[in-house]
Amino acid sequence: MRQELLSLPKTLAEDVARNLVMVAKLLDEDPEKAYGYSRVALRLASRVAAVREAAGFAAYAFGKYSEALAEFRAARRMTGSAELWPVMADCERGMGRPEKALAMAGEPEVQRLDKAGQVEMRLVAAGARRDMGQADAAVVTLQSPELASHAVHPWTARLRYAYADALLEVGREDEAREWFAKALEADQGGMTDASDRLAELDGVEFTDAMADEDDDADEDDDADEDDDADGNEDEAAAEADDLSVGEDEDKVETAARTEVGKKTEEQAEERADEQADTEEAGGAVEDGDADQAKPAAPSVPTFSDASSAVDTPIAAGEAPQQPFAQDAPVEAADAQKAGVKDTGVKETGVKEADAAADAERDGDK
C-alpha cells in the first residue's frame, strides 16, 4: 500500500493515508464511521487499488454488499490478484444470490488462492449451501484435510466452529458439542462464541456480573433521578408558595397605598375647600370695608317726604337739611319722577305748600 501511495503528491498521499488508517481502526468497532472515512479516501484517490480495496471492506462491514462487490472488482482489475475472490463470493450471498456464490467456488481462481484463501472459499460455499436449504451438503462441503488437521492456524477456529454449527443444524448434537469444544481450543483470540454455544448445549446459564452491576447502577440512577424530581417538585411548590405570599403582600401593600392616596386626596380637597372659603370670607370683609368707606346712596324723596319737610319747622339758626349728598347728585329724570326740582328742598316745598293752601281756600269758598 505504501508503494501505491508514493505515486501521489506528498500532501495528498498523507491525507489518504490518514483516512485509510481510520478505516482499519474503526472497521470492527464502528463500521459506519469506517465507511465514511473510506468514502473520503475514495474521493481523494480513486485510482489507487489499496483505496478501492479498503473502500470495499468498509462497505462490506457496513452491509452495503453491492457497493463492496463493485470496489472489490475494481481492485482486482487493478492488481490482477485473486485474493479477493472469496469475499466477492460472499458479497453475492449478501445480495441474495447464493447460487452465484456457489458457482464462484468452482472457478479456476480458487486454485490460485493460498491455504487461508481456499479455507475461506470453503466457508463461503458451505454458507451458500445452507442459504439454499442444503444443510447436509454444507456439512460435506466443510469436511476437508484442513478440518482434520491438528495444527492450529489463524483460520482453524472459524473452520471448526462452522462445522460444529452445521452439525447442530442437521441434528447431530453430540458431534456438534465435540467440535465446538475443539473450536474453543483453537480460538486463542476470542474470534468465536464457542464457549457460549457449549454452555447452551450443556444447559448452563451464565450471569453477566457486569451487566447486573450496570442494572443496579441504572436502578440507583433512576432512584436518584426520582429523588431529584421529588426534590425539584418540593422546591417548585415552595417557590410557588413564596410567590403566592409575595403576591398577597404586594396586593396588601398596593391596597394600603391606594387607601393612603385616597385619604391624601381627600385631605388635599378639604384644604382646598378651606382655602377657598377663607378667600371668599376675606373678599366679603374687603367688600364690607369698601361699603363702609363709601357714603350711603341718598334716598329719593316723595311728595310725602316733601310735605313732612314743609310741616317740620326749622329752628332758628339751624341749617336746612340737605337730603342729597353733594357728591352723589340724582339724575334729573329721577328727580322729575319724584316731583322735585334741582333748586333745593326748602324752596320747592314752600311753593308747593302755598299752592296747596290756596287750593284749599278756594275749595272752602
Q: In this structure, are 315 and 199 located in the same domain?
A: no
Q: Is residue 144 part of a domain?
A: yes
Q: In this structure, are 70 and 201 located in the same domain?
A: yes
User: What cell does 86 get?
Assistant: 472469496
Q: What is the pLDDT of residue 119?
A: 96
Q: What are the pLDDT tens digits along the chain (365 aa)?
A: 777 888 889 999 999 999 999 999 999 999 999 999 999 999 999 999 999 999 999 999 999 999 999 999 999 999 999 999 999 999 999 999 999 999 999 999 999 999 999 999 999 999 999 999 999 999 999 999 999 999 999 999 999 999 999 999 999 999 999 999 999 999 988 889 999 999 998 887 666 556 556 666 666 666 666 666 566 666 656 665 554 545 555 554 565 566 655 666 667 677 767 776 666 655 544 444 444 444 444 444 443 443 334 344 444 444 444 443 344 444 444 444 444 444 444 444 545 556 656 665 665 54
Q: In this structure, are 81 and 188 located in the same domain?
A: yes
Q: Which residues contact 22 (CB under 8 A, 6 or more apart)?
A: 33, 34, 37
Q: In this structure, are 309 and 204 located in the same domain?
A: no
Q: Is residue 256 part of a domain?
A: no
- Pick from 188, 209, 230: which residue ends a domain? 209
Q: In this structure, are 73 and 202 located in the same domain?
A: yes
We report the CATH number of the domain holding residue 102 as: 1.25.40.10
**What's the one-letter identity of residue 278?**
T
Q: In this structure, are 15 and 163 located in the same domain?
A: yes
Q: Whole domain around residue 311: which residue ranges?
A: 303-364
- Pick from 209, 229, 261: which residue ends a domain? 209
Q: In this structure, are 50 and 168 located in the same domain?
A: yes
**What's the one-letter identity of residue 68?**
A
Q: In this structure, are 195 and 321 located in the same domain?
A: no
Q: In this structure, are 199 and 312 located in the same domain?
A: no
- Rounded CA separation 60/330 (Å): 138
- Rounded CA separation 47/98 (Å): 30
Q: Is residue 244 part of a domain?
A: no
Q: Is residue 57 part of a domain?
A: yes
User: Is residue 128 within 8 Å of 101, Cβ to Cβ?
Assistant: yes
Q: Is residue 352 part of a domain?
A: yes
User: What cell does 228 get?
Assistant: 431529584
Under the phi-then-psi rule, with left for phi > 0, alpha for psi from -120 to 50, and beta for the rest, what region is 80?
left
Q: Look at the chain and report how many structural domains it folds into.
A: 2
- CB crowding 250-284: b at 16 or more within 10 Å, else e: eeeeeeeeeeeeeeeeeeeeeeeeeeeeeeeeeee
Q: Whole-model pTM?
A: 0.56
Q: In this structure, are 192 and 331 located in the same domain?
A: no
Q: In this structure, are 38 and 168 located in the same domain?
A: yes
Q: Is residue 277 part of a domain?
A: no
Q: Which residues contact 172 (CB under 8 A, 6 or more apart)?
A: none
Q: Is residue 93 part of a domain?
A: yes
Q: Is residue 153 part of a domain?
A: yes
Q: In this structure, are 320 and 186 located in the same domain?
A: no
- Rounded CA separation 76/315 (Å): 170
- Pick from 146, 174, 209: which residue ends a domain? 209
